[in-house]
Structure 1
Amino acid sequence: MKLKLLQSDITAIKVDAIVNAANTSLLGGGGVDGAIHRKGGYEILEACRKIRATQGKCNPGEAVITTAGNLPAKYVIHTVGPVWNQGGKDKEELLANCYMNSLRLAQENAVKTIAFPNISTGIYKFPKELAAKIAIETVNDFKSDEIEEVIFVCFDKENYNLYDKLLRTWKI
C-alpha cells in the first residue's frame, strides 16, 4: 500500500472510501462527522439508522460501512475513536482498532483507495502526535492485496505537519 498525505477537506476527496470519525450514535455530530453527514446527505443518515436498528450503537474501536451518498467516494466507513480523558494503553489500542477495523472493512468491500481523517484528535482530545504515530504504525503494519493507497487527510496545518514529520522519518 502506498501512503499519501494531504491537507484538505476529506469530504472533497475522490477515493473509494472515506473514513468518518463518528460518534457512538452514528447519527452525525460536530467536526468531520457533521461535515460528512451534511455533505453526504440523507442517504448516509438513513444507512446509519438501519445499522443502529440491527446492531445498536457503534462502540469505540469498531467500524461500520455505508454508502457515501452525495460525496465523491463510494463508501463511508464510520469508526468511533476513544475519548482521551486520562489516556492509557486501552485508549491507544482502541484508536489502533479504529484504523485496523476500517482497513478490514475496506478490504472486504474491494476498496482500492481509502482516506482517513485525524481520528479522536478534535473534541475527543487524543494527543495529536501520539494519534498520528498510532495511525501511521497501524496502517503501515496492515497487509492487504486489495488496498492500493491510504491517504491521511489533515484538515489543519498542525496535524499535517505532525504527519509529514513522522512519515519522513518513518521506515516505509
Structure 2
Amino acid sequence: MQATCFEVRGLSIRLAQCDITEADTEAIVNAANSYLKHGGGVALAIVRKGGDVIQRESDEWVKRYGPVPEGEVAVTGAGKLKAKYVIHAVGPKYGDPLGDEKLARAISNSLLKAEELGLKSIALPAISTGVFGYPYRRCAEIMADVFLATAGKLKSLRTVLVCLWGSEAYEAFRSVFLEKLRDYISSCP
C-alpha cells in the first residue's frame, strides 16, 4: 500500500490509497447525505461490507433526530466491519458559497466525535469529492488545515488514516499535504 505519513502535535496522519471498508481503525467516516441514505459511493460500499444493520441504524437515527445538517455528523455501529463505529459526515456540494466552511466542519466534527467516543483511531475518506463534486485538491487543502487547527486539542485520538480511492485522489492529497504539512513529515510505521 502506497502511504505518506505526518506527525502533527501528537496526531499521526497516514495518507494511503486504500479501501476504507478494510481500515483497521476504531471508527470509519462515511461521506453521507443528510438523510443517511447509503445508495452510492463510499456509503454503499460501507453498507455492502458492514451489512444492512448500518442502513437500519441510520434510518432510526434520522427518524429520531431528523436530517443531519451539512457539516454535522451522526454515529451508528459498524456491523461486520473491523471498526466499532461509522461516523456519518455530511459534506456540502461543490459550488455552495459556504461549502468550504461546511466541509471543514464535517471533517472537524468527525475528529471531535471520535474524541468524544474516546477512540484512538479513525479512517477518513475524501468527503464531498464524489457525487458532491469537490475537487480533490480543495478537499485536501481544507483537510490539512483542519488537522493543523485540531491536532493539539485532541487527547484520546492519536491516529488518522486518510483513505483515498485511486491514484488520482492519492496523488492530489499527497501533493497538497507535502506542501501544507511539510514541517510534519514522518516515516511510516
Question: TM-score under structure 1 normalisation?
Answer: 0.95
**Partner of 1:41 in structure 2?**
51
Structure 1 residues 10-159: aligned runs within 5 Å:
10-84=20-94, 86-88=95-97, 90-142=98-150, 143-159=153-169
Which one-letter code corresponds to 1:112 in the other structure?
A: K
Count the aligned residue pairs: 170
Q: Structure 1, residues 122-155: CA drift from partner, whole Å, max 9, x if none?
A: 1111121111110111023112011001111101
* Cα contact 1:23–1:29 (8 A) shared by 2: no
SS class of match (2:111): helix
CA RMSD for the aligned pairs? Answer: 1.1
SS class of match (1:121): coil
* Cα contact 2:13–2:161 (8 A) shared by 1: yes
Which one-letter code corresponds to 1:11 in the other structure?
A: T
Gaps of 5+ in 1: none
Question: TM-score under structure 2 normalisation?
Answer: 0.86
Measure the CA separation in 2 of the matches of 1:43 and 1:139. 31
SS class of match (2:87): strand
Moved over 3 A (4+): none
Gaps of 5+ in 2: 1-10, 185-189
Which one-letter code corresponds to 2:64 in the other structure?
A: T
Which piece of structure 1 moves more, 30-39 or 42-51? 42-51
* Cα contact 2:54–2:78 (8 A) shared by 1: yes
1:87 Cα offset (Å): 4.1
Measure the CA separation in 2 of the matches of 1:166 and 1:82. 20
